[in-house]
Amino acid sequence: MVWLGVCSKGVSPLAIFENGTVDHDRYIKEVLRVALKFGNDMFGSDWTFQQDGAKPHVHAKSQEWCASHFPSFIDKDHWPPNSPDLNPLDYCIWNEFAQLVKWDAVTSKKN
């Protein structure tokens, strides 16, 4: 699994999860801290963090962390589900990436 932040000014560092699943603890430690630093470096204190409805994102502890650390945050109760306007990676960019991948060179990593 991977996580990547994208905004009008650039792309965040890539977070790669090689072992296990991503629960709210890993999400806070390995993603949200990266997202906060990236956002602050790019925009200072004038930006809003948004995420989709994945389980680690909507967990109460993740929501609390976001609300107390990000300058502005759209919580799970105010986020429109399945919005192509607000989730461009889900509806456009992943398709563009998939078309550029040399699929015959892709291999699975052995555990």
Instruction: Report in angstroms the alpha-carbon separations of 100 from 50, 52, 77, 96.
Output: 27, 25, 36, 7
Residue 101 falls inside a structural domain: no
In a domain, 67, yes or no: yes
In a domain, 103, yes or no: no
For residue 79, give Cα distances in angstroms to 13, 30, 34.
24, 22, 21
Which residues, given as ranges, of the chain have pLDDT below 70?
81-94, 111
- 54 is in which domain, residue-wise? 2-81
41, 35 in Cβ contact below 8 A?
no
CB 15 within 8 A of CB 2: yes
Residue 31 domain flag: yes
* Contact between residue 88 and residue 109 where contact means Cβ atoms under 8 Å apart: no
Cβ-based neighbour number of residue 50 at 10 Å: 16
Radius of gyration of the chain (CA): 15
pLDDT per residue as tens digits for the range 43-58 = 999 999 988 888 999 9
Residue 90 lies in a domain: no
Q: Give the pLDDT of residue 90.
A: 62
Q: Record the pTM.
A: 0.74
- In this structure, what token pair is assigned to residue 61? 């502890």
